[in-house]
Structures are given as structure tokens and as C-alpha cells.
Amino acid sequence: MVEKMQNQLGRLYGLQISTPNVVEVKDLSNFNWQVKDNEIVVVVLNSKLRADQLTRKYEVVKYQCHKQGDVPNQVILSKTFEQGDFIKMVVLNIM
């Protein structure tokens, strides 16, 4: 799915999107947040979580990215991938 999106968006918008480093994280608070200078953090949260859990996970991601030196980041709910063209807007927002 990631490669398909890379190819489609790359052609459509004239972007070169490198292959992402995909990491599944079970516990955001204990994750080792070592981000390199040219990286962008994109976190996909499970849409089926309770609202308070989603809010807490969102806050952890934003805090950690800010603590690392204002790392560009985007938090996306998994249901966003079901909305077709909306994901293209998310990717352009990241760029």
C-alpha cells in the first residue's frame, strides 16, 4: 500500500518520496524517539480507540516531536485511509 501511494503521489505531484521506515509502536511513551535531521514523523493511530486514548497518544507524539527540535510531524487516524483522495491532502500537508 505504501509503495502504491508513493508512486501515485510522486507522479501526480512531481514529488520524489523515499521509502519510509515503518515501525509498529505498541507503547508511544516508551518508544525511543531518535529522529534524524531530515526525517518527518507520521503516526497512524487506530481509529477504534476511545477518544481519550486518541487524545493522549496525539499529545505524546506532538510533545516528543517538539522535544526533538520541532520535528515535522503528522498524526493520522487509520480511518483516513478509507477516504480515498483525502490521504493525498494529508501527504501534501506533510510536504
Residue with cell 515503518: 22
Asked whether residue 10 is domain-assigned, the answer is no
pLDDT over 70 at 5, yes or no: no
pLDDT over 70 at 87, yes or no: no
Whole-structure pTM value: 0.66
Q: What is the C-alpha separation between 54 and 69, in angstroms, rounded? A: 23
Q: Is 10 helix (H, G, I), strand (E, B) or coil?
A: helix
Could you tell me the residue range of the domain that residue 85 belongs to? 21-94
Contacts of 81 (CB under 8 A, 6+ apart): 1, 44, 87
Number of domains in the chain: 1
Of 77 and 13, the one with more pLDDT: 77
Question: What is the grid cell recorded at 59?
Answer: 499529545
Asked whether residue 67 is domain-assigned, the answer is yes
Residue of 95, 53, 51, 54 lying closest to 74 (CA atoms): 95
What's the pLDDT tens digit per position in 9-59? 677 777 677 777 777 777 777 777 777 777 777 777 787 888 888 888 888
Question: What is the grid cell recorded at 55?
Answer: 487524545
Asked whether residue 5 is domain-assigned, the answer is no
Residue of 36, 44, 54 lying closest to 74 (CA atoms): 44
Asked whether residue 7 is domain-assigned, the answer is no
Q: What are phi and psi of 84, to 5 degrees?
A: 60, -110
